[in-house]
């Protein structure tokens, strides 16, 4: 289990109450968190690493906008938090552009190679996609994501934006404590691949906290990207190196797969929760899970239940089970999701119908997914058992990085990038210094399922940046890392803000729950009496510390325009403004 900061262990137990502040009027003051919110007027950035936040802040102070700052920080994170993310992974982003006053959503996730057919997996005598190794690798999307963001919204060239990342890769950086712990846990995985071991295990071990780590090979790859843009990664020397490595390992990615990769600008999904418009990414990722949960929970008097009470946690858990039953049945590449599925699953009548299935006195072992009728607008619950693919429970999920930035002009970006598992697939491509992700593990091999693996298809994804608007203007930009945790954590953060009136730091730092398979993980701030009450309703309670990911967020005071930043002490990060 990753090491938790002492401040979190000592302070988070107090996170059981909130003020009666009305959201959208003025943020609540500092209440019970281990740190105060950061504040600024000209800009704000929150990331999981202080060095990345500092790099992004410098861009803002030098006249760059929020998108320039975000990509700069994302580049640094791809170097200094290699356990969680890198240029061999995927990226999603939601952007509010001040000039057009519109939201834009970018899906920069990669697709399966042309050789990734069900028949190929059957030929290899596999009944599921491996969680690690060469068969879990899909085309990486991060570099294309950076290119798209800067081309559409940025003011700085990629070469300039990547300068801090190149410097840290070439000259080295001190490894932060939580990253060091995650690195140590991945030692066995890295040691199984010679290229990964020679890159990330200097002296045949993981670097310890405070030691300086260099990745000169990655620095050279980043320099190629800085010189030649995204073409270097998808059509140039890096693409050739990745393709050659995949061929040598009998993998499923070739040069054509890399050359044909493109990111997609898509329409975000949204629902209104008590007057606030919550925006999430559409499939192939799980943004609808948060929105479906909020629709269901909107019918309860959440505030009256009390924060982290047994009633509250029970309702959240049951709503999550319903949303995950639908996720399991229907989430896939958006080209494979049944027609009108999202419209059905995010409708208020559907939420009202599913809410009636929740027994507040008893936990259910599971719920059936929706029946998507092609002849009626009325959704209903399925009469057949739900598919067996519900969680990624038991897989090596690792975590991810989330970050957000805002500038004084009104531009806001919510960005997430990841390798999926710790160091992704555990494979480093040749001499590139690039760890390749294992996002292909999100596919299944179930015939006829929307998420069945296929050439050129995106797998079920977990990455979800989020943004909340009030009266058409950004109010909160936030995200919570951690695989299956993300959707259910997003719902809790929104309720912390809207129902319990917390400020942005409190909302992200407050003790959380995470439903995991048959277990309900809770943090130490949730008291023994609440745990006993949940167990009496049939929940199996386990220690959730270390499993709740990490939050970053920015709240924009609608009255003053002041930017409030929050950064989770569950990570090594920093929110900082000016």
| Residue positions annotated with a catalytic role | 400
Cα–Cα dist 93/146, whole Å: 10
Cα–Cα dist 459/443, whole Å: 5
Whether the CB-CB separation of 176 and 572 falls below 8 Å is answered with yes
How far CA 58 is from CA of 74, 78, 407, 531, in Å, comes to 14, 18, 12, 45
Pair of tokens at residue 188: 């066995």
Residue with tokens 């491509």: 429
Strand order in the sheet with 540-543: 513-516, 519-522, 540-543
SS3 at position 92: strand
Whether the CB-CB separation of 198 and 214 falls below 8 Å is answered with no
Q: Which residues of 389-428 are buried (b: 16+ CB within 10 A; e: fewer)?
A: bbbbeebbbbbbbbbbbbbbebbbbbbbbbbbbbbbbbbb
Pair of tokens at residue 196: 């990964």
Whether the CB-CB separation of 124 and 135 falls below 8 Å is answered with yes
Give residues with Cβ within 8 angstroms of 170, minimum separation 6. Answer: 214, 216, 219
Give residues with Cβ within 8 angstroms of 94, minimum separation 6. Answer: 103, 104, 105, 106, 268, 279, 281, 413, 414, 465, 466, 467, 477
Partners of residue 402 on adjacent β-strands:
416
Cα–Cα dist 234/6, whole Å: 43
Whether the CB-CB separation of 149 and 66 falls below 8 Å is answered with no
Whether the CB-CB separation of 53 and 45 falls below 8 Å is answered with yes
Residue 125: count other Cβ atoms within 10 Å of its Cβ: 6
SS3 content of the chain, % helix, strand, coil (to 5): 35, 20, 45
Q: Identify the H or E element spanning 93.
A: strand 90-97
Cα–Cα dist 40/340, whole Å: 42
Q: Identify the H or E element spanning 73.
A: helix 66-80
Handedness of CA 318, 324, 329, 334 (dihedral sign): positive
Q: Say how many residues make up the chain.
A: 578
Angle at 404 between CA 398 and CA 409, to 5 degrees: 170
């Amino acid at each position: 289990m990753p090491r938790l900061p002492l401040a979190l262990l000592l302070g988070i137990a107090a996170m059981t109450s909130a003020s009666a502040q009305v959201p959208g009027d003025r943020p609540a003051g500092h209440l019970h968190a281990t740190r105060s919110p950061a504040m600024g007027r000209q800009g704000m950035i929150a990331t999981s690493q202080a060095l990345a936040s500092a790099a992004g802040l410098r861009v803002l102070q030098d006249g760059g906008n929020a998108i320039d700052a975000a990509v700069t920080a994302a580049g640094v994170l791809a170097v200094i938090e290699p356990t969680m993310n890198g240029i061999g992974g995927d990226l999603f982003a939601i952007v509010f552009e001040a000039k057009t006053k519109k939201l834009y959503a970018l899906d920069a996730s990669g697709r399966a190679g042309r050789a990734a057919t069900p028949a190929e997996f059957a030929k290899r005598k596999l009944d599921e996609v491996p969680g690690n190794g060469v068969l879990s690798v899909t085309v990486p999307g991060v570099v294309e994501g950076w290119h798209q963001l800067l081309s559409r919204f940025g003011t700085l060239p990629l070469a300039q934006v990547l300068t801090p990342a190149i410097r840290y890769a070439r000259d080295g950086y001190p490894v932060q404590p939580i990253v060091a712990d995650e690195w140590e846990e991945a030692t066995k995985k890295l040691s199984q691949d010679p290229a990964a071991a020679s890159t990330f295990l200097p002296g045949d071990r993981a670097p310890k906290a405070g030691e300086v780590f260099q990745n000169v090979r990655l620095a050279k790859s980043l320099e190629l990207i800085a010189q030649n843009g995204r073409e270097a990664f998808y059509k140039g020397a890096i693409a050739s190196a990745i393709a050659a490595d995949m061929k040598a390992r009998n993998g499923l990615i070739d040069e054509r797969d890399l050359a044909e990769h493109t990111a997609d600008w898509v329409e975000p999904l949204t629902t209104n929760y008590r007057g606030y418009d919550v925006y999430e990414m559409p499939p192939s990722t799980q943004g609808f899970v948060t929105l479906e949960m909020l629709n269901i929970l909107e019918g309860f008097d959440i505030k009256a239940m009390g924060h982290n009470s047994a009633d509250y946690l029970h309702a959240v858990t049951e709503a999550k089970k319903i949303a995950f039953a639908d996720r399991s049945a229907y989430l896939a590449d958006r080209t494979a999701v049944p027609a009108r599925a999202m419209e059905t699953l995010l409708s208020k009548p559907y939420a009202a119908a599913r809410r009636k299935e929740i027994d507040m006195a008893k936990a259910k072992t599971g719920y059936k997914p929706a029946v998507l009728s092609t002849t009626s607008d009325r959704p209903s619950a399925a009469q057949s058992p739900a598919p067996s693919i519900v969680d990624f429970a038991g897989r090596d999920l690792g975590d991810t990085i989330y970050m957000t930035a805002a500038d004084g002009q009104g531009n806001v970006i919510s960005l997430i990038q990841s390798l999926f598992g710790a160091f992704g697939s555990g494979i480093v491509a040749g001499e590139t210094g690039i760890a390749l992700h294992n996002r292909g593990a999100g596919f299944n091999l179930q015939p006829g399922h929307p998420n069945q693996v296929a050439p050129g298809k995106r797998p079920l994804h977990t990455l979800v940046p989020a943004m909340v608007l009030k009266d058409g203007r950004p109010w909160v930009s936030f995200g919570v890392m951690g695989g299956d945790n993300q959707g259910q954590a997003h719902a809790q953060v929104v309720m912390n803000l809207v129902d319990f009136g917390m400020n942005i730091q409190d909302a992200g730092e407050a003790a959380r729950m995470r439903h995991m398979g048959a277990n309900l993980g809770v943090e130490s701030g949730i008291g023994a009496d609440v745990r006993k009450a949940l167990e009496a309703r049939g929940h199996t309670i386990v220690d959730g510390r270390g499993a709740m990911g990490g939050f970053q967020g920015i709240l924009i005071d609608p009255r003053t325009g002041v930017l409030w930043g929050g950064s989770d002490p569950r990570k090594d990060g920093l929110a900082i403004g000016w």
